[in-house]
Structure 1
């Protein structure tokens, strides 16, 4: 850095400014391409290592502060009694004394209403039962059948007039295990270790943004025992297809051959991995915040049958309906007195405390609230999430369990997505796998393979097979798995505990070309045919609106300009088009009305000047459609629909 400093002291201000821009441009170019460093490097896959701190991502990057939802103390708390294996409720009347004193001879009276899943409903995920009011007595035992409750505390004066002082929600993970099952597990545990499995997910978090936004958490997952899957590449656009592949081995399109996910009962029929863990006598749990956008409920009916032994959705659905909801970072932030995030992770802490050492566990904790819409939201979460990780560690989770920290995809919209690194940010979700020391000692070959696979191309389907492998640790190869246990949409995919092929292509990993990060690109934005390709894409988009009977609701698109155009390089052993004049292009373009930015991966023939037919459903939209597509409920169609009733004329153009 000495040379630039010397030059700048001897040049006019105008030249200094030009020099800074040129220098930053050179630095950014090298940072985008990882300065010739790669996550994966083989003859058929060159996945670049991306610098999280490029100037175009850091220029407007601001760390956010965690905002508390309340500054008072809990009047009602619960505590698990390990002797009786029941919860007790405690009423902290002394905390209310300042309020009581102001009212004269007032008293504090608290009550609860039990919340339960309404299994009689056609769509139980989208409703709940609320039972009659019951008074709370100090040190009262909670009935063993109780899963959740909403508490209310009132100040009552001498005339019996009451004033609500505090409302809250409490979840319970009751210990309903038969004594024989616990005894058998403890006996078996001393001879054959059966690893518990906890999946922790933060929505829309790339491995790149984790480094940028959550340095404290990143430092935690760099400790011994953690393996970062740097070649992990998403397989679908948004959360649903990626988690569907990771938890069922199915693709969104593949499921259509079996059932319609928009109809009740479809999701229940799929091969969710928690079913297999349950069959293997694991105790299971699933919790996800932000009930309106949760993975299996957004524009879907969810599950008819409760999917896991412990399932937080009924409580979250109830309190989002009854409590004040404050939004931040685009999603439900405070629900009542607590963070939406904290309901999920406190539930996870209860799950760990209740069953670690008493039963093998399989749990999924998933959070949307901080990270779904704003990539900077993760900065506010960093220290809080680290505290949960430390609390889980102190509870003994990492001594006994395989723990996964993962995401579905990276950030898909706006600032970060439109940066030079945005293409990779979106397609490279974080994936960290922790193996406890006893597992590494007992299965050194599996740990060695996982380490080797860190820099091999992998996908959500491989992750699904990895979970399957944890129930068949005596397997010696992928051939030991019957077809019924293999990922239905990628039979060539296999466990990350088996060595992945060095020369692995995206096709072998079940990754469509659109999402594949393996092929280097050459930027050709100023090429005359970049505009021609983009205009042909827009024409197909408009034809698609007509074919889907959406033209009466959604406005026609008019091409505006090409933002960026790249041409993919065909690697030495990669699949080549039949016609050598055909190339794969990544076109980022803007349309009107409302100036949405789209990205399409297409095949274009330079000789025939023809665009191969594209599936408009696979387009990426790089700007949010939250306020543009409220006239339709079809999830995939929302990204390419500008509702006519959302336009404000004439300012739209």
Structure 2
């Protein structure tokens, strides 16, 4: 058969197009995101420099005795009952002769009269526990104590514990209306579950059981999810309020009581839509909205665990592991939060639309290997939530704020991506996928598009107006205040999306490929200029009396970014973006700076010392100051006489 010229040209175009598609697909396999303006390389979690020093940890239990006082929800009266398990004390009572068991409780409540109610609580007088007694409907938390009293009236404490209650205070008519409407109009419940400092990469490495769970049908992994800030606060702020840490400063001072209350936390809108809301976070000393901040003046959600955790961390024996409170009394700090979540699900699923936010720091905040000890326990909670039918009715998000930021994992070859790419999994229940197939399809497409915390905020907004056809239908007051171009993940994200469009600053952006140039002669000049700027910053912020000046020791690594065709190329061809990892003295902290450098003028451009990353811990270096960002770059003079 002889081909005409036109046929030959058409065949050639088809062949060339086939090669282009094949190369694109092959390229996409090696990348989380692959577009002309964003190329995030896929990271192997099991590289030698991460696995050579990687050890699985064992879950350590906090007690080996049984609970003497337990609570049970009575579904007929919609109240809790307390049960005293006297048989557990029989052996001790028999040894002491005619001894008796006495159990008491003290109610704990939030002290709303305090200037900083998040850091205060009320503790009422002791009351005896009667067997099978009802818990008053206005009781949220209690501390229980059981004693053995001998014939001399001497009391020996046998066990002390803490119990939280998710009391059912819903009016019967409200429940009846919800059940009636539920058969016609599904109002999706939402549960957000978070682990601090857990990258999508480390989840695969450290938590295979949990990872297998979120690989089931209905789960969508946002593989192009890129953090927007350094630590927990700015990243959760963006996801829950649509604000940035800098942006909030235009409205109020987050270190002053009342500021956080004034922000557009997404649970406020869910509450206005008649949702029942809950918030729980462990490790009260480093809680997201309380570490070096006053927390909330008004209780943020209907059910709020902080008063109990704050009280028992003050009163019970606290055992640290993985850097922070591990056991608080007889239970894991982690378990208080997730048992609270289980109660919330059991109490309201099918009775009211729910919005819940559960956050845990205890295992993963400081030690990336801590996740290995948590794997099976978190899997058990997920299975328990599944047995409670959470996944039949609700949209569930499993997320993190960022990856590991310090030491071993951060300094591995993949550490740059580990830190900047937190896990983000979104689950859509079967009814939602059937009713809104176009939204589920868009979420599927967006798995390999660049996305950010601001998009998550817009997604949560979208769940309260599911009939919206485009982001244009969202009024301005519902947009992410610091990223007006961000949008719900249920709308298809642009294929050629840049970090700027997603509200991600250049320092955190994982889109641009890099070239390592550590041995280039001008690298030390750039590093010296960075260190000089750091010292100038100490002086300008009145920190030079407290903090020691820096001297450059050596440059560990230097990368130069390749600016892709995104229209953001600098006007001056001599301007380049560099990522410099360097060590200074004293005390040998290691920093990472993302800077713009003009090789013609030999000057740094737009470098903010507050945005430095510190790759080694500052725990023993910065106790002389309470400014969170400044702790990264302050070596306290009074720390020099102490070992690191």
The TM-score range, normalised by the shorter chain, is over 0.9
Structure 1 residue 574 displacement after superposition:
4.3
Q: Is the 8 A contact 1:47 1:519 kept in 2?
A: yes
Matched, 1:283 2:271: no
In the alignment, what sits opposite 2:479? Answer: 486
What is the rounded CA distance, in whole Å, between the counterparts of 1:559 and 1:36 in structure 2? 40
Task: Give the one of 135, 143, 160 matched to 1:142.
Answer: 135
In the alignment, what sits opposite 2:246? Answer: 253
What is the rounded CA distance, in whole Å, between the counterparts of 1:529 and 1:116 in structure 2? 61
In the alignment, what sits opposite 2:93? Answer: 100
What is the rounded CA distance, in whole Å, between the counterparts of 2:172 and 2:561 in structure 1? 60
Deviations 1:362-411 (A, max 9, x none): 00000000000000000000000000000000000000000000000000
In the alignment, what sits opposite 1:230? Answer: 223
Q: Give runs of aligned pairs for residues 123-142 of structure 1, distance below 5 A.
A: 123-142=116-135
Task: Give the one of 261, 270, 281 matched to 1:268.
Answer: 261
Q: Is the 8 A contact 1:34 1:49 kept in 2?
A: no
Matched, 1:418 2:411: yes
For these two proteins, the number of residue pairs brought into alignment is: 619
Task: Give the one of 522, 530, 542 matched to 2:535.
Answer: 542
Task: Give the one of 464, 469, 474 matched to 1:476.
Answer: 469
Q: Is the 8 A contact 2:498 2:566 kept in 1?
A: no
Q: Is the 8 A contact 1:233 1:429 kept in 2?
A: yes
In the alignment, what sits opposite 2:173? Answer: 180
Q: Is the 8 A contact 2:595 2:604 kept in 1?
A: yes
Q: Alignment partner of 1:201: what SS? A: strand
Q: Alignment partner of 1:514: what SS? A: coil
In the alignment, what sits opposite 2:297? Answer: 304
Deviations 1:30-72 (A, max 9, x none): xxx9997000000000001100000000010000000000000
What is the rounded CA distance, in whole Å, between the counterparts of 1:596 and 1:477 in structure 2? 48
What is the rounded CA distance, in whole Å, between the counterparts of 2:91 and 2:49 in structure 1? 53
Deviations 1:263-302 (A, max 9, x none): 0000000000000000000000000000000000000000
In the alignment, what sits opposite 1:26? Answer: none
Q: Alignment partner of 1:411: what SS? A: coil
Q: Is the 8 A contact 1:332 1:340 kept in 2?
A: yes
Q: Give runs of aligned pairs for residues 6-45 of structure 1, distance below 5 A.
A: 37-45=30-38
Deviations 1:217-272 (A, max 9, x none): 00000000000000000000000000000000000000000000000000000000
Q: Is the 8 A contact 1:341 1:369 kept in 2?
A: yes
Task: Give the one of 640, 645, 652 matched to 2:633.
Answer: 640
Normalising by structure 1, report the TM-score: 0.94
What is the rounded CA distance, in whole Å, between the counterparts of 1:114 and 1:534 in structure 2? 57
In the alignment, what sits opposite 1:519? Answer: 512
Distance 1:233 1:531, change over 3 A: same
What is the rounded CA distance, in whole Å, between the counterparts of 2:618 and 2:106 in structure 1? 39
Deviations 1:188-212 (A, max 9, x none): 0010000000000000000000000
What is the rounded CA distance, in whole Å, between the counterparts of 1:102 and 1:231 in structure 2? 64
Matched, 1:367 2:366: no
Structure 1 residue 528 displacement after superposition:
1.2
What is the rounded CA distance, in whole Å, between the counterparts of 1:464 and 1:354 in structure 2? 26
Q: Alignment partner of 1:327: what SS? A: strand
Worse-matched range after superposition: 101-110 or 62-71: 101-110
Q: Alignment partner of 1:425: what SS? A: helix
Distance 1:516 1:574, change over 3 A: farther
Q: Is the 8 A contact 2:108 2:143 kept in 1?
A: yes
Task: Give the one of 389, 403, 407 matched to 2:382.
Answer: 389
Q: Is the 8 A contact 1:36 1:48 kept in 2?
A: no
Q: Alignment partner of 1:403: what SS? A: strand
Q: Is the 8 A contact 1:77 1:91 kept in 2?
A: yes
In the alignment, what sits opposite 2:618? Answer: 625
In the alignment, what sits opposite 2:601? Answer: 608
Matched, 1:166 2:155: no
In the alignment, what sits opposite 2:12? Answer: none
Q: Alignment partner of 1:544: what SS? A: helix
**Gap runs ≥5 in structure 2:** 1-25
Matched, 1:407 2:400: yes
Q: Give runs of aligned pairs for residues 564-603 of structure 1, distance below 5 A.
A: 564-603=557-596
Which stretches of structure 1, 4 residues or longer, exceed 4 Å deviation after superposition? 33-36
Structure 1 residue 573 displacement after superposition:
2.6
**Gap runs ≥5 in structure 1:** 1-32
Structure 1 residue 103 displacement after superposition:
1.0
Normalising by structure 2, report the TM-score: 0.95
What is the rounded CA distance, in whole Å, between the counterparts of 1:52 and 1:596 in structure 2? 26
What is the rounded CA distance, in whole Å, between the counterparts of 2:91 and 2:610 in structure 1? 60
Q: Is the 8 A contact 1:34 1:51 kept in 2?
A: no
Q: Is the 8 A contact 1:173 1:354 kept in 2?
A: yes
Structure 1 residue 578 displacement after superposition:
1.0
What is the rounded CA distance, in whole Å, between the counterparts of 2:435 and 2:623 in structure 1? 54
